[in-house]
Amino acid sequence: MNNFLKILGLTVIDFGLIWLTVYKINPDPSVTIGIIIFVPLAFIVNIIIAGILFVFKRKEYGKLFLINSIIASILMYYLFLKGIDKHLNKELESWEFVKSGKTYSLNRWKNTNEFDITYSTGPNSSSGFLYGKCKQINHDWILTADSVTLQIHENKLIGFQNESDTIQMRKIER
């Protein structure tokens, strides 16, 4: 039980340090490749600490850091991905809906008040469909592009193919 509490304590410390690192980095999706650097780094740092402890005859603590190397790697992977999700939630709001066999994605960029709609006919296929500006009126979003005006009201898209067309959308939660 004593070793369990020590590992739990190390895990709490790791969580705090890794969360603080990811918070400072504020990773966006373009740096997802950073996972192949940060996860092994978390592993290697713990292995080095374990090695130093073994050299100084602190084998009990060395074993704990060997176990912690795996835990820290898993935490780094999980928290890095959650950091990307946090960044995306701050930057955009997204919905999906299916119409005529196509899956449409609607993204509203919060910082620029722009939107885009893409569609997919199958896995690994995506095409741009509509781009424009959006503004909030009361609790609704009004989307305008060229001569098209759409409205988002309570996760429903109004006016997609004709003025009375109402489509229930699924909000993407990250």
Low-confidence residues in the chain, pLDDT < 50 = none
Give the pTM.
Answer: 0.76
CA 158 and chain centroid, separation: 28
pLDDT at residue number 1: 64
Query: Could you tell me whether strands 140-145 and 156-158 are parallel, antiparallel, or unpaired per DSSP bridges?
Result: unpaired
Of the candidates 139, 143, 25, which has an alpha carbon nearest to the alpha carbon of residue 79? 25
Q: In what order do the strands lie in the sheet with 156-158?
A: 166-168, 156-158, 148-153, 140-145, 127-137, 114-120, 102-109, 92-99, 170-171
The answer to whether residues 115 and 134 touch, using CB atoms and an 8 Å cutoff, is yes
**Helix locations, 26-169, DSSP H:** 35-55, 59-91
Inter-CA distances, 157 with 28, 59, 118, 169, Å: 28, 62, 14, 7
Q: ∠ at Cα 153 (126, 124), nearest 5°?
A: 10
Residues contacting 144, CB < 8 A, separation 6+: 132, 133, 134, 150
Return the pLDDT at 142: 94
